[in-house]
Structure 1
Amino acid sequence: MTGQRIILAIAGLWGLTGVIMLAAGSHPPQTGNLAVGGQFLLFHAAAVIGLLSTVLITGWRRALPLALLLTGSGVFALEILIHAIIGIVIPGLAPIGGTIAILGWLAVVIGALVEPSKR
C-alpha cells in the first residue's frame, strides 16, 4: 500500500468520524462541541484530499502540510470526543491540535509559494 493510499484512507476516516460527530452533536444533550469537532475533521479531510490531488505542490511541500493537517485535526477532535463521551477535559490537547492544524495551513501557503528545486 502506498503512502498516498494510507493518507487518503486517514482522510476518509476523518470524514467518516466528522459526519458521525456532527450527527451525534445534533441531538441533545450532546450539542455544540461535537459539531465543532466534526466540522474540523470534515474540513481538514477535504483539504487533505485536495492536496493529494494537486500537482502544484509536491515532495516535502506536500508531505509536511498533509502530516500537520491530519495530526492537528485529529488531536483537536479527539479531545472534544473524549470530553463529550467520558466527560474528561485534557487541558491543552485541543489548543495543541489547533495549533498544529494552523501550522499545516501555513505549510500549504509556504509550499505553494516555494518553487521546487531544479536538479
Structure 2
Amino acid sequence: MGACGVGLAAAASHGGDTLLLGSASMMCLAHAPVLLALYLGHQQIRTATLAGLILGLGTIVFAGDLVARHYLGSRLFPFAAPLGGNLMILGWLAIAIGAFLRAEDRR
C-alpha cells in the first residue's frame, strides 16, 4: 500500500489529476504504516485484525475509486468512495475500541 501511495504521488505530480490521484496517494501513505503497526501489534490489541481488514479494505475501495475515475473515467461502483471512507472511519474506531479494551484489561 505504501508503494502504491508513492506511485500515485508520482503520477499526480507528473501530469495526473492532483485532486484525485493526490487524495488516493495520501490515503495509501497514511494507512500503510498503521496497517503495519496493527500487524506487528496484533497480539496486544484485540481488535487489530478486524481493524486492519476494515481499514485496508476501506483504503483500497476509496483509493481504487479515485484511481478508476482518473484512468477509466468511471467509478468502481456507485458510492464507492463514500463507502471506502466510511470503512476507514470504522477501522479507526475499531482501533480506538481495541486500545480502550486494552486499557480496561490492565485494571
- Alignment of 1:72 with 2:28, yes or no, is no
- TM-score under structure 1 length normalisation: 0.78
Residue segments in structure 1 that go unaligned for 5+ positions in a row? 1-13
Are 1:46 and 2:33 an aligned pair? yes
Q: Secondary structure at the match of 2:45?
A: coil
The CA deviation string for residues 29-62 of structure 1, in whole angstroms up to 9 with x for no partner, is: 422210110110111111011112225314xx11
Shift of 1:18: 1.0
Which of 48, 59, 65 aligns to 1:62? It is: 48
Aligned length in residues: 102
Name the TM-score, length of structure 2 as normaliser: 0.86
Contact 1:56 1:112 in 2 (8 A): no
* Counterpart residue type for residue 94 of structure 2: A
* AA aligned opposite 1:34: L
> Unaligned stretches of 5+ in structure 2?
none
Decide whether the 8 Å contact of 2:62 with 2:81 is kept in 1: yes
Q: Secondary structure of the equivalent of 1:114?
A: helix
Amino acid at match of 1:51: L
Q: State, as a whole percentage, how many aligned pairs show the same letter.
A: 34
Aligned to 1:34: 21
